[in-house]
Structure 1
Amino acid sequence: MHALGKRIGAQCVAGDLILLNGPLGAGKTVLVQGIGDALGIGDVTSPTFVISRIHKAPLPLIHVDAYRLLEGGKAALYLDDLDLDSPREGAVTVIEWGGAESARLSEERLEIVIDRTEEIREVTITPVGTRWQVLKL
């Protein structure tokens, strides 16, 4: 997952939105750590309890964990409260547990679903919009 994240991160530009979904322990945060490494950020940890963390770098990384927002059933409202629109333009934004309420943030996004059994990890990557059609893995 880390290596996949590095390959994706190497192709990121300002304004990119990446949505990650999968069960607990699937490797979402490890994938974000790989993206961070590609951006020159080595201290990416899960923002589960703080919800959102901005990692400063020439191309900053906004890392959101929406898991706790989903608990209240008002994820879209709480996501709006994070006010991601302004800083997102100059950064790469990755949202773990990024469902439909996160997808509305951009018509150009990369949706990644990680499915994991005990022995197999299957990753489905869906480019939405023209921006990600050139993704090379």
Structure 2
Amino acid sequence: MPGPVTLHLADEAATAALGVRLAEALRPGDVVLLAGDLGAGKTALARAVIRHLMADPDLDVPSPSFALVQPYEGGGHVLLHADLYRLASERDIDELGLFDRPEAILLVEWPERAPGLAARANIVVTLSLPADRKGRIAVIDAPAERRI
């Protein structure tokens, strides 16, 4: 299996375009981990994926940092957008209902808070800011047949 793919995303439009490509590769039941430091673009990428899958480019997609999980259903898709930053313990993940609907696509920000999720992940996207702070770097780890 080939290694991860690294992309430089010059701006928000490039991040949104990656979100569309990612959305088009997703299947029901996929678990996508969005890792990276604060401000690296995890929510911006998730927002682009959600808007594309819900077929609504103007959909309000708030960060789920306080609610922890924000559900979406539309365009023939069920999606859960989770932000685990405020998760007190990995044991608390069971209470979030992330796997109650096996057909749901799951986007998880701050997966580092629940390392056990790594075993369930189909795709991992790690975002970071380059040294010059211009744009962002995306490292995408996905099976060869699911290249983004």
| TM-score relative to the length of structure 1 | 0.84
**Larger relative CO (CA 8 A, sep 6+): 1 or 2?**
2
Query: What is residue 12 of structure 2 aligned with on the other side?
Result: none
Query: What is residue 138 of structure 2 aligned with on the other side?
Result: 123
| Among candidates 125, 128, 134, match of residue 112 of structure 1 | 125
Contact 1:79/1:102 (8 A) holds in 2: no
Count residues in correspondence: 126
Does residue 35 of the first structure (1) align with residue 46 of the second (2)? no
What secondary structure is seen at the aligned counterpart in 2 of 1:68? coil
Deviation at 1:82, TM superposition (A): 0.9
| Among candidates 19, 23, 28, match of residue 9 of structure 1 | 23
Deviation at 1:120, TM superposition (A): 4.3
The separation in 2 between residues aligned to 1:2 and 1:126, in whole angstroms, is 18
Instruction: State the AA in 2 paired with 1:55.
Output: Y
Bigger-Rg structure (1/2)? 2
Instruction: State the AA in 2 paired with 1:96.
Output: E
Query: What is residue 133 of structure 1 aligned with on the other side?
Result: 144
> Hey, which bits of structure 1, 4+ residues long, moved more than 3 A?
none
Does residue 63 of the first structure (1) align with residue 81 of the second (2)? yes
Contact 1:13/1:59 (8 A) holds in 2: no
The separation in 2 between residues aligned to 1:53 and 1:9, in whole angstroms, is 17
Deviation at 1:33, TM superposition (A): 1.1
Query: What is residue 69 of structure 2 aligned with on the other side?
Result: 52
Q: CA RMSD in A?
A: 1.5
What secondary structure is seen at the aligned counterpart in 1 of 2:37? coil
- Structure 2: which 5+ residue stretches go unaligned? 1-14
